[in-house]
């Protein structure tokens, strides 16, 4: 019986090897630094709370947060509130993406429309969207609708503007190529503008998910009985700072997961093309 | 024989709020079937505008363009003269494979038939790109990219090829071989070609006829027939002949004369 010979890896020079080692070492050091910073912060916080340097009634403490989180998991309120915020954020993110893509496409397609709408878009984008929230409550009542629209309103105008600007910056010669090959403006859109804008669309999604979350939390502050934004407001009113800070930490985790998801979509796209 | 393309007294100006800039002034020219014509002129004289008008991307303000004696209004899409246009840069789309780039024209005209795709595959094989058909454009060399762009143009069986300085983005060495390469391909297939260039050597190495345009607003200043005793397959051999030198000097005189009168 003969053994299949192992495929020998290509020889690596000593210099390359030391470069790789240095590269790995650098990365390990960065990761270690991040971890140490977090542990130091938590340790200092916990010590300060225990030794009475800060009042843990106002500032909470890592152990208090863990305890509260455990309690939330046991009584399932963690799943209710996080689930509500998550689903509202995803819904409004989805709406932002669809609506801004559609509008930016329409603006690109109809030049005069974009000229007509430009000042309105600029004003709506600059307007502090939290000013709209009371209006939304009157129109849509308190509940998921208001909150999803609040998230939408925060992200959608900026997203339209950035997508439309990106569409206009695509090399006009590429569109000319389409016309010389007998294509129409619609072909230029589907064969050139949209495919060449995928990186732009992904990066604008990265911004949008954060903004949608901001809008949803603003909405929940004002018009909700459930969700992390509600917990934060409620907790601050009844001086349950454990509740407030735990909710903020869950929000951090949500933001990070969303960001990582879109980042991995970006990596997937870059690898493919 | 009916010329494949004739321009009658074509004029075109660009307009903006500051005023108008005449680009082409009363241009008349004829191109016969199967010929290779080069258009040279000082830079910015409106050569690209001329091509855009011939390709039908711009409508002339005055005069008319006739394709085999018919104006663009007179024929229906089926009998229309097909025009292939090669731009200065290849603009191969990075999000498509080489193959999906070269069939773009077929895709846009809804003519992705077995016959047409077989033709494309044959072209890829003839021009040494078959092995690269599933690669990304960025993996091709400059010369290969230009050949892929030519296949994309040829895939729709154009009757007339418009070449808008398609070699200007290449380095000198590649440029010499690729331009000869592409000119040979065009001659072999018997296509009519109109090449725009600012490179006099390129014009007289490749073309049967050179049309010299004057400064903006461009008009036809001179037309020159080019003949060589030897085959044009080898661009360096052509450039070594006495005839080449004579043509070059003649053309140079016409162009510099333009500068002194302007």
Give the CATH number, domain containing residue A185. Answer: 1.10.3720.10
pLDDT per residue as tens digits for the range B191-247:
899 999 888 888 888 888 999 988 878 888 888 888 888 888 777 888 888 888 899
Count other Cβ atoms within 10 Å, centred on residue B241: 13
CATH of the domain at B44: 3.40.50.300
Q: Which of B153, B198, B220, B203 is nearest to B44 (CA)?
A: B198
Does a structural domain hold residue A57?
Answer: no
B57 and A171 within 8 Å at the Cβ level: the answer is: no
Total residues belonging to chain A: 273
Average pLDDT over residues B110-138: 90
Which runs of E-coded beta strand occur in B107-219? 160-164, 192-196, 209-213
**Whole domain around residue A264: which residue ranges?**
66-272
* Residue listed under structure tokens 């290969």: B144
The DSSP bridge pattern shows strands B62-67 and B5-16 to be: antiparallel
Q: Does residue B254 form part of some domain?
A: yes
Backbone dihedral region for residue B19 (phi beyond 0: left; psi -120 to 50: alpha; all else: beta): left
Residue ranges with strand state E in chain B: 5-16, 19-31, 36-40, 62-67, 70-71, 83-86, 160-164, 192-196, 209-213, 220-225
- How far is Cα B247 from Cα B238, in angstroms, rounded to an integer? 12
CB contact under 8 A, A181 and B87: no
Pairing of strands B5-16, B83-86: unpaired
Q: Looking at beta carbons, which residues of chain A come within 8 Å of B108?
A: 178, 181-183, 187, 191
Is residue B110 in some structural domain? no
Question: Domain check: are A109 and A28 in the same one?
Answer: no
Give the residue on B whose Cα is nearest the Cα of A190.
B108
Chain A residues bordering chain B (beta-carbon distance below 8 Å): 171, 173-174, 176-183, 187, 191-192, 195-196, 198, 273
Digit-coded pLDDT (tens) for B14-43? 888 888 888 888 888 889 988 999 998 887
| Nearest-by-Cβ selection for B87 from A176, A182, A196 | A176
Residues B206/B172, Cβ–Cβ less than 8 Å = no
Q: Which residues form the domain of B48?
A: 1-81+160-170+189-262
The total of structural domains in chain B comes to 1
- Do residue A37 and residue A97 come from a single domain? no
Whether B256 shows a pLDDT value over 90: the answer reads no
Q: Do B156 and A182 touch (CB under 8 A)?
A: yes
- Name residues of chain A where pLDDT drops below 70: 1-9
Tell whether A241 is covered by a domain.
yes
Tell me the pLDDT band of B56, cut-offs 50, 70 and 90: confident
Chain B nearest-CA residue for A269: B95
Give the DSSP H/E element, type plus range, for residue A178: helix A172-180
C-beta atoms of B156 and A187 within 8 A: no
Cβ distance A181 to B95 less than 8 Å, yes or no, reads no
pLDDT at A1: 44
A22 and A128 assigned to the same domain: no
**ipTM given for this complex:** 0.85
Whether residue B108 and residue A181 make contact (CB cut-off 8 A), yes or no, is yes
Say whether both A21 and A100 belong to one domain.
Answer: no
pLDDT in tens, A22-62: 999 999 999 999 999 999 999 999 999 999 898 888 888 99
- How many structural domains are present in chain A? 2
The helix-helix angle for A62-74 and A14-50 (nearest 10°) equals: 90
Torsion sign (Cα): A87, A90, A92, A95: negative
Same domain, A24 and A89: no
B87 to A178: CB separation less than 8 angstroms, yes or no: no
Domain assignment present for residue A160? The answer is: yes
Give the chain A residue whose CA is nearest to the CA of B92.
Answer: A174
B-chain CB neighbours of A171 within 8 Å are 91
Smallest CA–CA separation between B197 and chain A, in Å?
Answer: 18
- Mutation test of the interface with chain A: which of B95, B151, B158, choosing the one with the most A Cβ atoms within 10 A? B95
The pTM score is: 0.83
Are A163 and A36 in the same domain?
no
Q: What is the pLDDT of residue B1?
A: 67
Task: Please indicate, yes or no, whether residues A40 and A70 belong to a single structural domain of this protein.
Answer: no
Query: What is the 8-class DSSP label of residue B17?
Result: T
Indicate whether A22 and A130 sit together in one domain.
Answer: no
Q: How far apart are CA A246 and CA A88, in angstroms?
A: 19
Once rounded to an integer, what is the mean pLDDT over residues B73-80?
58
Q: Let me know if residue A79 belongs to a domain.
A: yes
Helix (H, G, I), strand (E, B) or coil at B75: coil
């Amino acid at each position: 019986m003969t053994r299949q010979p192992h495929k020998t890896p290509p020889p690596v020079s000593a210099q390359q090897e030391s470069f790789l080692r240095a590269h790995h070492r650098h990365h390990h050091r960065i990761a270690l630094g991040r971890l140490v910073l977090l542990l130091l912060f938590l340790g200092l916080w916990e010590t300060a709370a225990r030794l009475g340097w800060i009042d843990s009634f106002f500032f909470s403490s890592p152990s208090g947060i863990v305890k509260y989180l455990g309690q939330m998991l046991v009584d399932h309120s963690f799943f209710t509130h996080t689930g509500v915020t998550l689903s509202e954020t995803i819904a409004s993110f989805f709406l932002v993406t669809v609506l801004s893509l559609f509008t930016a496409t329409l603006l690109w397609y109809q030049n005069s429309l974009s000229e007509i709408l430009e000042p309105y878009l600029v004003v709506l984008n600059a307007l502090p969207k939290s000013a709209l929230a009371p209006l939304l409550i009157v129109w849509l009542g308190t509940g998921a609708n208001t909150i999803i629209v609040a998230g939408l309103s925060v992200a959608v105008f900026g997203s339209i503007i950035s997508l439309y600007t990106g569409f206009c910056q695509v090399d006009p010669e590429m569109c000319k190529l389409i016309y010389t090959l007998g294509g129409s403006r619609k072909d230029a859109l589907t064969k050139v503008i949209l495919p060449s804008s995928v990186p732009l669309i992904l990066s604008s999604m990265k911004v949008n998910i954060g903004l949608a979350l901001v809008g949803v939390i603003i909405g929940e502050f004002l018009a909700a009985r459930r969700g992390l934004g509600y917990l934060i407001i409620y907790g601050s009113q009844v001086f349950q700072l454990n509740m407030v800070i735990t909710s903020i930490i869950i929000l951090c985790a949500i933001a990070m997961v969303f960001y990582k998801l879109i980042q991995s979509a970006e990596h997937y796209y870059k690898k493919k093309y | 024989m009916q010329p494949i393309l004739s321009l009658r007294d074509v004029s075109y100006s660009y307009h903006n709020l500051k005023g108008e800039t005449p680009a082409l002034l009363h241009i008349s020219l004829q191109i016969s079937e199967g010929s290779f014509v080069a258009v040279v002129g000082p830079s910015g004289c409106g050569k690209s505008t001329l091509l855009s008008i011939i390709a039908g991307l711009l409508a002339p303000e005055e005069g008319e363009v006739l394709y085999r004696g018919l104006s663009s209004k007179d024929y229906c899409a089926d009998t229309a003269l097909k025009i292939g246009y090669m731009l200065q840069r290849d603009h191969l789309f990075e999000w498509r494979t080489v193959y999906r780039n070269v069939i773009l024209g077929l895709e846009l005209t809804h003519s992705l038939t077995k016959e047409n795709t077989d033709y494309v595959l044959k072209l890829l094989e003839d021009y040494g790109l078959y092995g690269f058909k599933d690669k990304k454009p960025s993996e091709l060399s400059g010369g290969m990219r230009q050949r892929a762009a030519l296949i994309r143009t040829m895939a729709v069986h154009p009757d007339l090829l418009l070449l808008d300085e398609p070699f200007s983005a290449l380095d000198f060495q590649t440029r010499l071989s690729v331009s000869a390469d592409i000119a040979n391909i065009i001659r072999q297939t018997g296509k009519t070609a109109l090449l725009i260039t600012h490179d006099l050597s390129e014009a007289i190495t490749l073309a049967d006829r050179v049309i010299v345009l004057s400064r903006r607003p461009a008009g036809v200043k001179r037309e020159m027939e080019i003949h060589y005793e030897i085959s044009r397959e080898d661009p360096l051999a052509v450039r070594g002949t006495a005839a080449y030198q004579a043509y070059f000097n003649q053309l140079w005189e016409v162009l510099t004369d333009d500068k002194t009168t302007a």
